[in-house]
């Protein structure tokens, strides 16, 4: 499949390739957004989800699909994806803000409470952000999952932060 750009996705093409959460599901709280669009032999996300929300099946090159109603937004799959292609988006975080959780494999690891700069899929600065959670248990095998709070209008755009 040929993508519009090399190295990053446009939201428009993502929404054509992957089934994204509905507005109704977003209103219920955090949910996985799978941005995996290339048919590669890979499936640790499927095995990682103990709620059975992610399905790849056979053949292993199928794109993953997510049953958003089964997803609790726990974030485990984010740490297990070698493609760094899964995010947890919570558009119901507060009246005006959302959160986005993403894998962050750089040093130093951000700390809760830090003020940072959020970036989009292309690495361009989008807005100020606040780190509200960092999950880094041994089971995540050195792939911390960082959650930032951002203005709600950027929830589909922000996918990481500028390196510290």
Where do contacts with ligand SF4 occur on this chain (CB under 6 A)?
32, 34, 36, 42-45, 48-49, 51, 53-54, 64, 66, 71-77, 81-83, 85-86, 88
Least gap, CB of 117 to ligand SF4 (angstroms): 25
* Closer CB to ligand SF4, 44 or 151, in the complex: 44
Give 24's DSSP letter: H
Least gap, CB of 41 to ligand SF4 (angstroms): 9
**Tokens of residue 107, six digits:** 């040093």
Q: Which residues, other chains included, contact 156 with Cβ-Cβ below 8 Å and sequence gap of 6+?
A: 11, 89
Least gap, CB of 85 to ligand SF4 (angstroms): 4
* Closer CB to ligand SF4, 6 or 96, in the complex: 6
* Closer CB to ligand SF4, 82 or 123, in the complex: 82
Q: Which residues, other chains included, contact 18 with Cβ-Cβ below 8 Å and sequence gap of 6+?
A: 34, 35, 36, 37, 63, 65
Q: SS3 for 6?
A: coil
How many Cα atoms within 13 Å fall on the side-chain side of residue 54?
30
Q: What phi and psi values does residue 99 have, to the nearest 5 degrees?
A: -125, 150
* Closer CB to ligand SF4, 72 or 120, in the complex: 72
Least gap, CB of 146 to ligand SF4 (angstroms): 15
């Amino acid at each position: 499949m040929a993508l519009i750009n090399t190295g990053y996705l446009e939201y428009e093409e993502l929404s054509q390739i992957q089934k994204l959460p509905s507005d109704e599901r977003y209103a219920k709280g955090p949910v996985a957004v799978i941005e995996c669009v290339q048919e590669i032999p890979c499936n640790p996300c499927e095995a990682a989800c103990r709620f059975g929300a992610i399905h790849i099946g056979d053949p292993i090159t199928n794109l993953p699909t997510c049953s958003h109603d089964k997803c609790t937004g726990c974030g485990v799959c984010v740490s297990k994806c070698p493609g760094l292609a899964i995010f947890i988006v919570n558009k119901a975080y507060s009246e005006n803000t959302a959160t986005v959780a993403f894998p962050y494999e750089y040093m130093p690891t951000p700390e809760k409470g830090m003020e940072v700069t959020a970036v989009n899929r292309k690495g361009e600065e989008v807005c100020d952000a606040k780190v509200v959670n960092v999950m880094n248990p041994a089971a995540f095998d050195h792939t911390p999952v960082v959650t930032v709070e951002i203005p709600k209008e950027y929830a589909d755009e922000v996918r990481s932060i500028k390196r510290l």
